[in-house]
A and B are shown apart, each in its own frame.
Chain A
Amino acid sequence: MAPGLRLKEVKIRGFRGYGELEKTLDLTAPVTIIFGGNRSGKSSTLNALEWALYGKEVTGKGATGIVERKRGWLVVNRKCPSARVELTMSSEEGEIVVARESGRTGKKKEETFSFVDEKGRDYREDVDLWKFLGLEARDFMSLVYLHQEVIRDIVVSDPSVRRAALDRLLGVSDLRALFESLKRIRAKDYERRTEEIYRELERELGARSKSYQEQAENLRGRGIQKGLREEDFTEEMLVGLSDEVVNLLDSLAQRADIGVPEIKPLRDPEAYEDFKEEAKRIIHRLRSENPGAVSQRELMDLRERLSTAMAEYESKTQALKDLRKEKTELEKQGDLKALQALRNEYGAKRREIGERLKKINARLPVIAATIDYLSELEDKRSRIPCPACEQEIFPEELLERLRAVQEEIGEEGQALEKESRDLSEKARKLEKDIRHLEELVERKIPEAEEEERSLRESIGELLGITVTDADDARKLARDNLAEIEKGLEEARKVLERYNEDILSVEETLERAGIVHGVLEAERRIENIRTISDSPEWKSMNQARDRLNRMLDAVDRSRGAMEAVLKEKVRERLEEAEGRIKEYYRMLVERPDFESITIDPEDNEVYASSDGDAEKVVNFFNQGDMNCAALSIFLALGGGASHEYGPSFVILDDPSQSLDVEQKRRLARLIDKVASERQVLLATMDGELLQALQDEVAKAKVIYRLGEWGPQNGPSIVRE
C-alpha cells in the first residue's frame, strides 16, 4: 500500500467530452479548481481519474460509480477512435503512473491498462493497482470522490447503505463484511438438519424393527403349521434339521445310485444360505437323474417307437393284401402268359380282317366304274366286246350280276369293319389289363413285400428278436406293448415313492429355512436395539459434536468480530469526532444544534445541542444536510482516517443547495483541509469560485473550461 499518495498530473485524450488533441492538467497544487458551465467537460475531467483507476469497475454492467450516476455513459468520444487517460501520482518514494486506453478494432472493443509503481515495476492487471491503493472501486467512491450520491449515502439512504458508506469512511468494511457473513450462518438451520437426520434414522430403525418383528411372527406361524414347536426356533434345531437334510440326501443318492457331491453339515447358522443352495442343487440332480425317471423316459420312448412301427406295418400289410386281390381279379381271365397269347391272337385276326377288307376295297371301285360304264350304254341287250378283255358280253346281264356282287361284297366289308372295331376295343382293354398285371407282378407287389419285411424286421429290432415270415409280428408287438405298459406303471410307482422322499427332504429344508428366518429376524431386531452402542453410531455422535463445536466457534468468531468492529467504529469515530464537529461548525451556524455526531449503533447522523439529539434527516434542510455530509466526508475521507492510499479528495459540485455564506464557509474549510490533503474540485458555481479565490490561502490552480469543440474538446485556460 502506498501511504500519502498525491495527484500530480493527468493527460486526457478522446475521453468523453475530450477531443483527439491530448490535454494535460497539472494537479500538483494543494487546491485545483475546475470551473465551467454545464457540458463544459468538468465532470468528464473528474471521471477521467475515476476511469483511469477503476476502468470497467465504474463503467461496466452492474458496476458502481459512473454508470450508477448516469445510464448510457460512453467512454470514448464519438468523434475519436479511442480514449486514453494517463494519471500521474506521487508519494515520498517516487512517481506512480496509471494509463488506460479504450478503442475499437473493427467491431471489437479493446482496452489496455498499465500501472508503473514508484520503484518502476510495471503491472498490467487492474487488481494490482487496487491492492497498491488499498481501495476497491466502492471504497474509492466513499472515501475519495464526493458527489451527490455519496452525500445521500452518508445521511439519507437506508440503514444498510448508510452503514456501508460510513464503514468505508471509517475503514471497517472488511470487518463488517466478515461479521455480516458470519451472521448469515444460522446455527439453528444446521441443528434442525442434524435433528432431522437423527429423527429420520430413528424412525426408519423403528419401522424396520417392527417389520422384522412381523416377519419373525409370520415365520413362527408358518413353522407351527409345518409341525415345529414354539421352543424349536433355536440354533440347535437349525443344525438338527440341516443334519436331517444331509442324511436324507445321502440316503436318496445311494438308493438312486447317483454320485452327488457330499454336502457338509451346517455348523455355523450364518452359512445357512450357502447350505440351502447346495442342498437345492443336489435335490435337482436327484430328481432329474434318478434311474426310475430314466427308465420311465426310456419305456415311454420304446412305446412310442413300437406303436409307430406297428401302425406302419399294419398299414403296409393291408396295402399288400389289396394288391394281391387286384392281381387275383385280373388273373380270372387268365394268367399273364395266357393274356399275352390272347393279345397275339387278336393281333393275327385283326391283320386277316385287314387283308380281306383291302381286297374288298380294291374290287368295289372297279365294280362301280363298270356299272357306271354299262349303265351309260344305250343298247344294253346286244352283245358287245368287253372293253377290258374284248370277249363278247351282254351288258344287261353283266350289269345285273355286277350289281349283285357290289351289294354282296359291300355288306361283307361292313361286317368286317365292325368286327375289326370290336377287336380293337377288346385288344385295348386287354392291353390295359396286361400292363396293370405286369405292374403288380413285376413291381408293386415285390416292393410292398419288401417294405412289409423291412417293417417286420424293425419290429424285431425294437423287440430284440428275429421276426420271420412265420411269425405274427403284430401279435409280438402287441404283447410287448402290454409289457411296456406294465413296466411304466411300475416305474411310476417307484418314482412316486422317490419323489415323496425328495419332498420330505424339501419340507425338512423348508422347516430349517423357517427356523433360520426367525433367528435372522431376531438377530436383526437385536442389532437395531443395540445400534446406538455401535462404533458407527458413536462416530455419528462425534460428528454431530464436531458440528456443534464448529457452530459454537462460528458464534464465538461472530462475537469477537462484532466486539472488535464496535470497538474500531467507536475508536475511529472518537478520533474523528472532534474534526467532524469542527468542520460542521465551520460550515453551519445553527444555534439550535451546534454539533453533529454519528451513533455507532444505528449509524444515524444526529444533530445535538445541550444533550438533545435529533436525526438530521428528520429536520435539516438540504443545504444543512449537505454540510453535515461534507463535514463527515472531509473529516474521514481522502486519507484522513487511513494511513494508506490516496491523500487527496475529489469534490464534484459540492456547493449544491448551499447559500452564499455556506459557500464561503466551505471555501474556508477547503483551505483548512488542503493543508493536509490535496483538493480537486469541479464546480459551475461562480459564487463558490469567488469564495475559493477569496478564502483559500493555499496555492491553487484554476482551470477554466470554456468553448467546446467536437475536434479539440473543451478549451482549457489555466489561471
Chain B
Amino acid sequence: MEERLLVEQRINEIAGDAETVELTLEIIDEAYRGLEEGLSEGVFERIKKRLDDAVQEIEGLADNIREMIWGG
C-alpha cells in the first residue's frame, strides 16, 4: 500500500494536466486490480483489454463511416 501511494505521488509529480493525472491513476488502479486477480498476467490482460477496447471503438466508428458512405 505504501508503494502504491508512492507510485501515485510520482504520477502527481510527473503527469501534466488533471485529466492526464486522472487517466494515469485509473491505469494504476486497473493494474493493481489485475495484480489482485492474477499477478502479472492479470495486470497485462486488464490494461491490454482497456487499450484493445479503445482500438475497437475506433474500428467501430470507422465502420460507421463506411456505412454512411456505402449505405447512403
Query: Measuring CB to CB, which residues of chain A are less than 8 angstroms from any residue of chain B?
Result: 172, 174-175, 177-178, 180-182, 184-185, 190, 193-194, 197-198, 200-201, 204-205, 208, 524, 527-528, 531, 534, 536-537, 539-540, 543-544, 546-547, 549-554, 556-557, 559-561, 563-564, 567-568
A-B contact pairs, 26 of them (CB 8 A): A174-B3, A174-B35, A175-B7, A177-B40, A178-B31, A181-B31, A182-B27, A182-B47, A185-B48, A190-B54, A208-B70, A527-B68, A531-B68, A536-B64, A536-B65, A539-B61, A543-B57, A543-B58, A544-B58, A547-B51, A550-B54, A553-B23, A553-B24, A553-B27, A557-B11, A557-B24
Q: Is the CB of A568 within 8 A of B20?
A: no
Q: Is the CB of B44 within 8 A of A527?
A: no
Cβ of B47 to closest chain A Cβ, rounded Å = 6
Q: Is the CB of A547 within 8 A of B47?
A: no
Q: Is the CB of A181 within 8 A of B34?
A: yes
Q: Is the CB of B6 within 8 A of A550?
A: no
Q: Is the CB of A527 within 8 A of B69?
A: yes
Q: Is the CB of B58 within 8 A of A547?
A: yes
Cβ of A168 to closest chain B Cβ, rounded Å = 13
B44 CB contacts on chain A under 8 angstroms: 181, 184-185
Provide the bound-state CA to CA distance between A543 and B14, in Å: 24
Cβ of B50 to closest chain A Cβ, rounded Å = 7
- Cβ-neighbour of A543 out of B11, B34, B41, B54 (below 8 A): B54
A527 CB contacts on chain B under 8 angstroms: 68-69
A524 CB contacts on chain B under 8 angstroms: 69
Query: Measuring CB to CB, which residues of chain B are less than 8 angstroms from any residue of chain A?
Result: 3, 6-8, 10-11, 14-15, 19-20, 23-24, 26-28, 31-32, 34-35, 39-41, 43-44, 47-48, 50-51, 54-55, 57-59, 61-62, 64-66, 68-70
Cβ of B13 to closest chain A Cβ, rounded Å = 8
Q: Is the CB of A554 within 8 A of B3?
A: no
Provide the bound-state CA to CA distance between A527 and B71, in Å: 12
Q: Is the CB of B55 within 8 A of A194?
A: yes
Q: Is the CB of B32 within 8 A of A540?
A: no
Q: What 4 A-B pairs have minimum CB-CB distances, sorted nearest first?
A: A181-B43, A560-B10, A177-B40, A540-B61
- Cβ-neighbour of B62 out of A180, A201, A559, A563 (below 8 A): A201
Cβ of A3 to closest chain B Cβ, rounded Å = 15
Q: Is the CB of A531 within 8 A of B69?
A: yes
Cβ of A494 to closest chain B Cβ, rounded Å = 45
Cβ of B38 to closest chain A Cβ, rounded Å = 10
Which one of B24, B32, B39, B48 has the highest number of Cβ atoms from chain A below 10 Å of its Cβ? Answer: B24
Q: Is the CB of B31 within 8 A of A543?
A: no
- Cβ-neighbour of B51 out of A175, A531, A551, A557 (below 8 A): A551
Provide the bound-state CA to CA distance between A184 and B31, in Å: 13
Cβ of B34 to closest chain A Cβ, rounded Å = 7
Provide the bound-state CA to CA distance between A554 and B64, in Å: 28
Q: Is the CB of A553 within 8 A of B26?
A: yes
Provide the bound-state CA to CA distance between A175 and B57, in Å: 31
Cβ of A564 to closest chain B Cβ, rounded Å = 5
With known contacts A181-B31, A181-B34, A181-B40, A561–B7 Cβ distance under 8 A:
yes
A193 CB contacts on chain B under 8 angstroms: 55
A549 CB contacts on chain B under 8 angstroms: 19-20, 23
Cβ of B71 to closest chain A Cβ, rounded Å = 10
Q: Is the CB of A553 within 8 A of B43?
A: no
Cβ of A445 to closest chain B Cβ, rounded Å = 83
Q: Is the CB of A181 within 8 A of B47?
A: yes
B3 CB contacts on chain A under 8 angstroms: 172, 174-175, 564, 568
Q: Is the CB of A194 within 8 A of B58?
A: yes
Provide the bound-state CA to CA distance between A546 and B54, in Å: 8
Residue of B whose beta carbon sits closest to that of A554: B27
B68 CB contacts on chain A under 8 angstroms: 527, 531, 534, 536
Provide the bound-state CA to CA distance between A527 and B66, in Å: 11
With known contacts A177-B35, A204-B66, A554–B47 Cβ distance under 8 A:
yes
Q: Is the CB of A185 within 8 A of B47?
A: yes
